[in-house]
């Protein structure tokens, strides 16, 4: 497997050169219906990775701090483990919302970050703005 | 026609490389991955530190995905170090502004924030999170 990964990495490097845990869930944590891959310019690849439907999530940790993100439900759990280790703050709950495409998932993520005080709020483990913020501006939801 | 600065060429190559990784690994723009890449670039390029090995775990769902992201980041950092006049770009805000130049786009017209997010100022990092060195893959 390591050799395969290394080979894959080498391919990516060549491309660059050429280019010059089970937790509780929230009220809106509903299983999403299957949907078509609606790729929209600027929004990357639509749906799925690993298990489940693409969407956005907010993980709550034991201290009350939150971390919001874009990804599948499986991603939300992996994310919870990472932040729990990084901050020594157990992951206690997940609120997940399905999205119809990647762009909408990113916009959801941005709204979640803002709803928890934004990236400058110390109780929010997100320190980096989501591209969803730009998409919200482009779509007239936010002023620059 | 003015020549594109080598640093801009390296940034476009990196963003394009990440876009290429996404073609096979669509979790590339998941928040965990995007923020991991940002933290690594912030540490090694924006802050100019070089006191530890490059991370190997960007939050991709497979060893192949993490290896692909690692290769792109490694290639970018090597490219920047080989730029003859790299010292004209001071560490800190000036380098963050280079990375977050909205005029630099991939072949599909996508810009930096889809791959590394955005911060107004460099993140103060004394060290990198341990999870960047500890792969975590679901079965």
Tell me if chain B has a CB within 8 Å of the CB of A45: yes
Tell me the per-residue pLDDT of A50-76, one tens digit each, with 9 for 90 and over: 468 999 999 999 999 999 999 999 999
Q: Minimal CA–CA distance to A119: which of B117, B30, B40, B29?
A: B117
Tell me if chain A has a CB within 8 Å of the CB of B99: no
Nearest CB to B13; choose among A16, A44, A133: A16
Tell me the per-residue pLDDT of A88-137, one tens digit each, with 9 for 90 and over: 999 999 999 999 999 999 999 999 999 999 999 999 999 999 999 999 99
Q: Do A102 and B66 touch (CB under 8 A)?
A: no
Please report the ipTM that was assigned to this predicted complex.
Answer: 0.93
Chain A, chain B: beta-carbon pairs less than 8 Å apart:
159
Given a contact cutoff of 8 angstroms between Cβ atoms, the answer to whether A71 and B32 are in contact is yes
Task: Pick left, alpha or beta for residue A52 (phi over 0 → left; psi -120 to 50 → alpha; otherwise beta).
Answer: left
| pTM of this structure | 0.84
Instruction: Show residues of chain A in contact with B61, CB under 8 Å.
Output: 49-50, 74
Range list of β-strands (E), B6-132: none
């Amino acid at each position: 497997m390591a050799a395969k990964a290394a080979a894959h990495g080498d391919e990516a490097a060549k491309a660059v050169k050429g280019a010059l845990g089970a937790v509780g869930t929230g009220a809106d944590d509903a299983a999403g219906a299957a949907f078509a891959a609606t790729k929209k310019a600027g929004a990357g690849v639509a749906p799925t990775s690993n298990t489940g439907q693409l969407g956005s999530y907010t993980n709550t940790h034991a201290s009350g701090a939150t971390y919001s993100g874009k990804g599948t439900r499986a991603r939300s759990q992996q994310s919870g483990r990472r932040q729990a280790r990084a901050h020594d703050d157990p992951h206690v709950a997940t609120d997940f919302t399905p999205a119809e495409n990647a762009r909408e998932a990113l916009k959801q993520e941005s709204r979640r970050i803002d709803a928890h005080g934004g990236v400058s709020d110390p109780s929010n483990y997100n320190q980096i703005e989501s591209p969803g913020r730009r998409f919200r501006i482009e779509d007239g939801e936010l002023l620059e | 026609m003015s020549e594109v600065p080598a640093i801009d060429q390296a940034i476009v190559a990196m963003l394009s490389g990440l876009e290429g990784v996404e073609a096979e690994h669509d979790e590339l723009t998941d928040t965990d991955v995007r923020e991991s890449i940002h933290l690594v670039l912030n540490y090694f390029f924006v802050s100019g530190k070089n006191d530890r090995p490059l991370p190997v775990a960007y939050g991709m769902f497979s060893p192949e995905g993490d290896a692909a992201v690692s290769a792109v980041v490694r290639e970018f950092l090597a490219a920047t170090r080989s730029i003859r006049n790299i010292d004209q770009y001071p560490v800190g805000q000036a380098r963050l502004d280079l990375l977050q130049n909205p005029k630099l786009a991939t072949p599909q017209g996508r810009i930096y924030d889809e791959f590394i997010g955005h911060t107004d100022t460099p993140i103060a990092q004394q060290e990198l999170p341990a999870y960047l060195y500890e792969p975590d893959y679901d079965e």
